Chain A
Amino acid sequence: MASYIESFRFGEFIGSVLWLVFWILIIFSLVGLPLLFIVLFYVPLPPLGDEPLTPYLFLTMIVDPTRTIPIIKYMIHTDLFRVAAFPGFTYAALFAAVTIFVERKFLAKMQLRYGPLYVGKIEGWLQLAADGLKLISKEIIVPAAADKPIFWAAPIAFVSVAAAAAALIPVAPGWVVADIDVGIIAVFAIFGFFPLIALLFSWASNSKYPFIGGLRALHQIIAFEIPFIISALSVVILAGTLNLTGIVESQIASYWFVFFLPISAFVFYLSSLAELERIPFDLPEAESEIVAGWITETSGMIYGLIQLGTYLKLYALAALFVVLFLGGWSGPIIFPQEIIPGYTGEKIYNPVTLSAIFWFTIKTFGVIMLMLLPRGISPRIRIDILLHTGWYKLIVLSFINMFVALALIYGGILGPEGLLVR
């Protein structure tokens, strides 16, 4: 695949690289260093142990990496890091990116084809970056009759609401953006925004197919929200708390709730598929019926934002499934106690947290794969069958397990000082 220009000389190539390095060094020492000092002079730096962090001390970190440990430790416990990096937006967005790539390859293997193959040489792993660049460079077409402020605001609201849902999920002990006592109610309150956004956007597009799609989204999400909440309610009954961290801890104290509440887990899984508008419940975006449903009029980065929001939502729901039914981060500690034997300085390495993150990531990814699976094997279902399933079958099913949960509590098997509580 690679092609070389005919006049290529290896010596010239090395020479030009050395020339480049020389100029980079010159420019860095003459311009970069003074600029760095000016910036460091004005930016307030965190205290480093006893002494305040000075620009000079900061520079010594380049030669002695162990000196960076306190500042890294300081940084990863700031709120900014939690919101922006881990377990906040970057972690969730990374999950979304990996999910999109894995979905495409996984579906391709199922359908006897290759999937992305060329971008990035190895199995097309940079395809998503290429798609993102394409979406950014595209023109955003807003229909002339559209309600412009809502049309622009809805995609952004969609992503922010999805990110807000992801922010409530505890990833490891103490690692959660917002640890609130009514965590599970807050999650459902946030998920209640999605049909509203879909309807607002479809109304703002001022077009027929988006309008039908928006109404379908509203019908579908409301029909599935009730079994969704009731199936989570049985988990709350068993755990005795609404706090998501508390739910995980009560599972660590006994066993994973999926063993006690398999029907609830199934109902929750089906309802999350409907919430996500994934096949077989992708009626709001049914291509052959209503073009692209409520996102028909999207283009360029507006479409990109809605896709990002959808995959963030997928991560949030899979993570919620893990937290409610699969014991969150519980699992054996698989990382060694120390990496460098005999090191006594300050440490940021914590095997417990790392194992927790590892187990949580593995479980969430497994659930995501389970949510991707129906796309390969199932056709789309019709709206009347969907509503019938939601209102009649799933609600009844989720009630069954609520009574099972109550029996487990009053029978003294789970709950405070139950038989199975370790």
Chain B
Amino acid sequence: MATLEEKIEETRRLGLQVVKETEEDRLMTLSIGPQHPGSGHFRFTVKVDGDYIVYCDPDPGYVHRGEEKMCEYRNVIQNIPHLERPVIHDSTNVTYSYSLAVEDLMGIQVPRRGQFIRAIASEMNRQVYTLYWLAIYGIFLGHSTMFMWPAGDRELFIDLLERLTGARVTHAYNIPGGVRNDMPEGFKQRCLDHINYFEKRLKEYEDIFYNMPLFRQRTEGVAVLSKEDAVKLGVTGSVLRASGVPYDIRKVEPYDVYNEIDFKVQYMKTGDSFARSYVPFLDMKESCHIMRQLLDKMPQSGEVRTKLQPNPKGPAGEAYRRVESGRGALGYHIVSDGTPKPYRVKISVGSFRNMLALPFLLVGNKLADMPAVYWSLNYWPVEADR
């Protein structure tokens, strides 16, 4: 038997060109996004060897809108409506930490009733966001009922928020000094009705989706992110909690009224795709519990807002505050030079941190696992680009 080298030598002697197959020749490069139905406003390039992903390169930036720069041309009140654009489904939480930071900067005290209403609105908005996320997770795994049900049940909280704020999606409700307006008549009862109905629906979600053997087969043990890796990569929110770190900003840095509320931080220890998809679901359950307490403890009357000057300005200085949004810690670092317009606003979002774990988790998995891993990271492309 002739060895490979001899064969090549012989072929060369015949005057034919010989090219050795390299490792790269085996790979197929796929560009997932920005026009792929499974990517969102985002692109990541993957290289597959057969059915396995061997390389992944996330490429965000398709919807960069320069939110941080825009903040420098408007005063602190005018900044509210455009700051909620990156995550319109979670707009109350996005403006929450901004308002907290501005209040720190200017030394404003929010009335107690205003603090409660803020917390209620932000819990509701977290539900809206998580339901939307869950709907997309369902359709990414080919489960069309799980797309329709959460997308329909979002209406419960959208309806409440519409009554509360006047807008369905982008509310611009949190402002420095409190909230824009008081609750309408009979809001508490309606809210309790919706929460009761929603809790029944959550049980049905569990039956049709989380307890489905086919779903468990697809997600359990897939793309495990260990506790150490999660801390090293700096992921946050549900991704961090799924890896076994009970870290919730509402608990570790309680803001406004959250230190008066009794709730547990939901976390799981496995750190796989299933845990990452189940923790937001547990959060939704806990959030119903929190909302009930907030509605009970809320003062029945009082101011909801500290009136500010028309063009408010505070002393020069800087402030950093963060809240627990649907995707994890969401912080604003505001530097002021004493003028009405901020000197610099830096937004720190959970999505971007979670996206950094994507190549780490995706490499070594099958192409079919891509949607299950990618969307379990609780990543919102528009927010990451800001």
* Chain A residues close to B by CB (< 8 Å): 107, 110-113, 208-209, 212, 279-280, 282-283, 286-291, 375-385
* B142 touches which of A209, A212, A291, A380 (Cβ 8 Å): A380
Find chain B residues with CB under 8 A from A383 CB.
Answer: 51, 366, 368
User: Which listed segment binds A: B11-19, B208-216, B354-362?
Assistant: B208-216
Q: A111-B145, A379-B142 are in contact. Are A208 and B218 (CB under 8 A)?
A: no
CA distance A290 to B38 in the complex (A): 8
In this assembly, does B316 line the interface, its C-beta being within 8 Å of a C-beta of chain A?
Answer: no
Specify the chain A residue showing the minimal Cβ separation from B209. Answer: A379
Residues of chain B touching chain A, judged by Cβ–Cβ distance below 8 Å, are: 28, 30, 36-38, 51, 138-149, 152, 208-209, 212, 214-215, 217-218, 366-371
Other than the given A288-B139, A288-B140, 12 more pairs (CB < 8 A) read A110-B145, A111-B144, A209-B30, A212-B367, A288-B38, A288-B142, A288-B370, A288-B371, A379-B218, A380-B218, A381-B217, A382-B368
Min distance, Cβ A217 to any Cβ of chain B, angstroms: 14
A382 to B217 alpha-carbon distance, docked (Å): 8
CB-CB under 8 A from A280, the residues of chain B are: 142, 214
Which 4 A-B pairs have CB atoms at the shortest separation, nearest pair first?
Answer: A380-B142, A288-B38, A111-B148, A379-B143
Q: Which residue of B lies closest to A108 (CB)?
A: B148
- A93→B36 CA distance, assembly (Å): 33
Bound form: Cα–Cα A288–B39 in Å = 8
> Is B36 a contact of A291 with CB atoms below 8 Å?
yes
A260 to chain B, nearest CB (A): 28
Could you tell me the distance between the alpha carbons of A113 and B153 in the complex, rounded to whole angstroms?
12
State whether A291 and B37 are in contact (beta carbons under 8 Å apart), knowing that A286-B368, A382-B368 are contacts in the complex.
Answer: yes
A382 touches B37 (CB 8 A): no
Q: Tally inter-chain residue pairs, CB-CB below 8 A.
A: 84
Q: Is the CB of A379 within 8 A of B152?
A: no
B36 adjacent to A376 (CB under 8 Å):
no
Residues of A within 8 A of B370 (CB): 288-289
Residue of B nearest to A112 (CB): B152
Q: Which residues of B contact A382 (CB under 8 A)?
A: 217-218, 366, 368-369
A-B contact pairs, 22 of them (CB 8 A): A111-B152, A112-B148, A209-B30, A212-B367, A287-B37, A287-B139, A288-B140, A288-B141, A288-B370, A288-B371, A289-B370, A289-B371, A376-B145, A377-B208, A379-B138, A379-B141, A379-B215, A380-B143, A381-B214, A382-B217, A383-B366, A385-B218
The complex places the Cα of A283 from the Cα of B138 at a distance, in Å, of 15
Neighbouring B residues of A381 by C-beta, 8 Å? 214, 217-218
A104 CB to closest chain B CB, in angstroms?
12
A280 to B140, CA, bound (A): 13
> Residue of A at shortest CB range from B30?
A208
Cα–Cα distance between A110 and B371 once the two chains are bound (Å): 24
User: Complex formed: what's the CA distance from A286 to B139 in Å?
Assistant: 10
CB distance from B41 to the nearest CB of A (A): 15
Chain A residues closer than 8 Å to B51, beta-carbon distance: 383
B142 to chain A, nearest CB (A): 3
Q: Chain A's nearest CB lies how many Å from the CB of B315?
A: 51
The reply to whether A376 and B214 form a contact with Cβ atoms under 8 Å apart is no
CA distance A306 to B321 in the complex (A): 56
Of chain A, the residue at the smallest CB distance from B369 is: A382
Among the listed B37, B149, B215, which residue makes an inter-chain contact with A112, where contact means beta carbons less than 8 Å apart? Answer: B149
Q: Whole-angstrom distance between the alpha carbons of A383 and B218 in the complex?
A: 10
Residue of B nearest to A219 (CB): B51
Q: Which single residue of chain A is at the shortest CB-CB distance from B142?
A: A380
Q: Which of B28, B144, B215, B368 contacts A283 (CB 8 A)?
A: B368
What residues on B are CB-neighbors of A385 within 8 Å?
217-218
CB distance from B26 to the nearest CB of A (A): 15
Q: Which residues of A contact B214 (CB under 8 A)?
A: 280, 378-379, 381
Residues of B close to A282: CB separation below 8 A: 142
Least distance between A202 CB and chain B CB atoms (Å):
14
Whole-angstrom distance between the Cβ of B145 and the nearest chain A Cβ: 5
Interface pair B142/A279, CB less than 8 Å apart? yes
Contacts of B209 on A, CB cut-off 8 Å? Answer: 379
Q: Which residues of B contact A291 (CB under 8 A)?
A: 36-38
CA distance A83 to B36 in the complex (A): 42
**B146 to nearest A CB, angstroms?**
8
Give, as a whole number of angstroms, the nearest-CB distance from B220 to chain A: 12
Which residues from A are CB-within-8-Å of B138? Answer: 379
Q: Are the C-beta atoms of A379 and B366 separated by less than 8 Å?
A: no
Known pairs A288-B37, A380-B142; A113 contacts B148 (CB<8 A): yes
CA A31 to CA B141, docked complex, whole Å:
62
> Once the chains are docked, how many angstroms separate the CA of A381 from the CA of B371?
12
Nearest residue (CB) in B for A376 is B145
